[in-house]
Structure 1
Amino acid sequence: MDKLYNLGDSVKTVGYILLLIAAILGAVILYSVYQNLFAPESSGNMAPDFELEALNGTKIKLSNLRGYVVILDFWATWCKPCRQEMPILGKIYDTYSSKGVVILSINIQENKGTVAAFAQAYKINWTILLDINGNIASKYKIKYIPTLIIIDKNGCIKHKHIGVTQYNVLASEIDSLLKG
């Protein structure tokens, strides 16, 4: 009888161990999925290069902006949080454009006329790029907008924000990148 009782305890122990292993594997898988959904590249990796047409018709290539801190702003005109973030980006532009910071607001999949009307209404005076096919947003694994990606002077991704980002958060990150 004692042997049967001990066998039951062993089965329970093995069951608990298997449950623990399954929980750990589940956590690892969820973390991996999270990283793939939300991280365009690991922090510190080079930002994928691209070339897009600006609203004014000029071509802008990211790699030509080495030496600047670059903010990539992925957005759309119909996105309410994107509209809420525009005044914050305007304040960042006014404060930092003369200090070596470039803002590239990358509109995703909208026509030039719609974007131009929006830019005029919101008095946007920084560069707006047109990602008409959404290829650059896909390259950066953008799933939600607004998304901001902050790139250092060497072209490395340093920060990513999903949703409206407050001025003081951006200013702090920009200040540290300008010093470095």
Structure 2
Amino acid sequence: MRTFQNLVGEKGLLLVFVYGTWCAPCVQTLYSLGRTSEIYQHEGVNVAVASVDDAQILKNFKATAPTPINFPLLADHDEALHKLYTSAVAKTYLVIDANGILRAKFVNADGRSKPSHQA
């Protein structure tokens, strides 16, 4: 079973992209993140994606994705993560430390800007 503690990277950080499978720009950003997630992981920051969709929808989405998704897709159907970190429903990056403290939040309003992997 996945827990928050085993999702956190070597440097004690987890980058979470909040999205919805119904949001086309979010899905494109997710695929882009898939191409760069290894850079984050190499620097000790793990990547996960949270969606308000339920677990079965995410399972089907991952199974039919045109490119491999090599990080966890987390179902946040009750929006607990969204409420805890006052996240917009979708297109937001959260950087969370090993203690569950939000260290940075990037609202990805235009679908083009992402947090630097150098940050």
Q: TM-score range by the shorter chain?
A: 0.7 to 0.9
Structure number with bigger Rg: 1
Relative distance call for 1:64 and 1:124 in structure 2 (3 A) is: closer
Relative distance call for 1:70 and 1:165 in structure 2 (3 A) is: farther
- Compute the RMSD of aligned alpha carbons: 2.5
Percent identity for Structure 1 against Structure 2: 21
Deviations 1:38-78 (CA, angstroms, capped at 9, x unpaired): xxxxxxxxxxxxxxxxxxxx232258737333111111110
Relative distance call for 1:142 and 1:155 in structure 2 (3 A) is: closer
The match for 1:131 among 76, 79, 86 is 76
Report the AA paired with residue 97 of structure 1.
Q
Taking structure 1 as the reference length, what is the TM-score of the superposition? 0.54
1:1-180 mapped onto 2 (5 Å cutoff): 58-62=1-5, 65=8, 67-108=11-52, 110-122=53-65, 123-151=68-96, 156-163=101-108, 164-166=111-113, 169-170=114-115, 172=116, 174-176=117-119
Please list every run of 5 or more consecutive structure 2 residues that lacks an aligned counterpart in the other structure: none
Q: What SS is found at the alignment partner of 2:70?
A: coil
How far apart, in 2, do the equivalents of 1:143 and 1:98 lie? Answer: 28
Report the AA paired with residue 86 of structure 2.
K
Report the AA paired with residue 65 of structure 1.
V
Richer in helix (by share): 1
Taking structure 2 as the reference length, what is the TM-score of the superposition? 0.76
The number of residue pairs the alignment matches comes to: 114
Please list every run of 5 or more consecutive structure 1 residues that lacks an aligned counterpart in the other structure: 1-57
The answer (yes or no) to whether the contact 2:7–2:46 under 8 Å persists in 1 is: no
